[in-house]
Amino acid sequence: MSFTRFTNCHLIDNGQLYEFTDLYINNKTKKICHPPSNPDLVSVTIDLKGQILAPGFIDIQNNGIYGLNFSNLDGDSTAEDIAEFKNFYKDAMTKYLSTGVTAICPTVTSNFPEVYEKVLPFYKRSRLDTQCDSLGAHLEGPFINLKKKGCHPVETFVDAKDGEEKLLEVYGGANNLLENVCIVTAAPEIEGVLDLIPAIKAKNCVFSLGHTMADYQTGLQAIEKGATMITHLYNAMPQPHHRNAGVVGLINTPAGANGDKTPYFGLICDGVHVDPSMANLAYRSNPNKCVLVTDAMHLIGLPDGHYKWDSQVIVKTGDRLYLENTDTLAGASTTLPQCVRNLIQWSKISLPQAVKTVTNNAAMSIGVQNERGFLNIGCDADFVVLDKQGYVQKIYKLGKEIKSSDIPLEKSTEKISAML
């Protein structure tokens, strides 16, 4: 048995900075471990030269990356299409790892049953050392409200008046949910959805409120039924009013009789979906339940331009994505490390506090805290090495070093200039 020791580093965990603290991993299990009783068993020592070691980042809402749309198979997809998608998926997940995100919930937006049948098996939970892992899919729709459709195709929308039978019909059966899904986002006011929440929880899935017109009381009912999350807070829901808090008011829900029932909430800190002052308001309201998400579209990492998306066209300008000729946002294209840096600036908080939102909080929100998102004994050796500004210097995936693509703008410009 042999071990790797990370030394001359500061650790970030639990919103705290632990200065000059060593970390050990078991080279066989690829998990964090206690220091070996015999120092001679340390076969590799990695000197981080005063840099910061934190858990790998987790992105629980991400619609696509590097040109790959996570919903891009359907009933007409051939065996050749599926094989091509498989290769594309592996390549995109390898590239996304370089941003510092070591695990994601690939998000499938509102769709037809044949799409879920084809794509969900790709998102079975994984544990790999060469690419970003899937923690199970995030199914955003199609049990959502037409009035808060966003860019979701309305022809796919359904209700749940037929109960669990309808749920399984849409998503491809109980095994598909149990094995390949992590989160289901739905609107609790849609007929039948409230009563489905316990069934969704029983499939080991998180129920999240989103794309909804629900009022505060309906939100409370959903929480009592087992809802534990809100999808991309502020977006695709009624805006809070001082006499009508709506779903947003749930982030301050008092502790329930059986413990804290305040839901976790996804927050897109790209400066486009949520104004910085409102992001700060939400974070300050409940820092321990705030989970930064990218809500990235497949155009992240691609040049600016017009891109066809099903029957619609998305216009990409920098980190802004809109449906053509509208002011409807179509996802995002800002990386998760940049969202972390944005929150630091907007809320005037420390790097450890911001990192908590994409590590500890993210892991807790989907129940994987014993495996990921912390630097605790027994957690996977998935790490990011950060500088003091929060830029990812390198990544370790199950202990294997990965090069970072998270480059400051000025350095990126210098790199491009040098190539000309």
Which residues are identified as catalytic? 295
What DSSP string describes 327-358?
--B--B---HHHHHHHHHHHHT--HHHHHHTT
User: Among 362, 353, 344, which residue's Cα sits nearest to residue 293?
Assistant: 362
Tell me whether residue 284 is annotated as binding. Answer: no
Sign of torsion over alpha carbons 411, 413, 419, 420: negative
3-state secondary structure of 116: helix
Tell me whether residue 235 is annotated as binding. Answer: yes
Which structure tokens are listed for 194? 């409230």
Q: Which residues contact 246 (CB under 8 A, 6 or more apart)?
A: 214, 215, 216, 219, 237, 238, 239, 240
What b/e sequence results for 371-386 when a residue is b if at least 16 CB atoms lie within 10 Å of its CB, and e otherwise? bbbbbeeebbbbbbbb
Tell me whether residue 236 is annotated as binding. Answer: yes
Tell me whether residue 14 is annotated as binding. Answer: no
Tell me whether residue 189 is annotated as binding. Answer: no
Tell me whether residue 140 is annotated as binding. Answer: yes
What DSSP string describes 21-86?
--EEEETTTTEEEPPPSSGGGEEEEEE-TT-EEEEPEEEEEE-EETTEETT---TT--HHHHHHHH
Query: How many Cα atoms sit within 13 Å of 199 on the Cβ side?
Result: 14
Cα–Cα dist 188/207, whole Å: 10
Tell me whether residue 179 is annotated as binding. Answer: no
Tell me whether residue 151 is annotated as binding. Answer: yes
Tell me whether residue 87 is annotated as binding. Answer: no
Strand partners, 379: none
Q: Annotated binding site for Zn(2+), which residues?
A: 140, 211, 232
Q: Annotated binding site, which residues?
A: 140, 151, 211, 232, 235-236, 243, 273, 329-331
Q: Annotated binding site for substrate, which residues?
A: 151, 235-236, 243, 273, 329-331
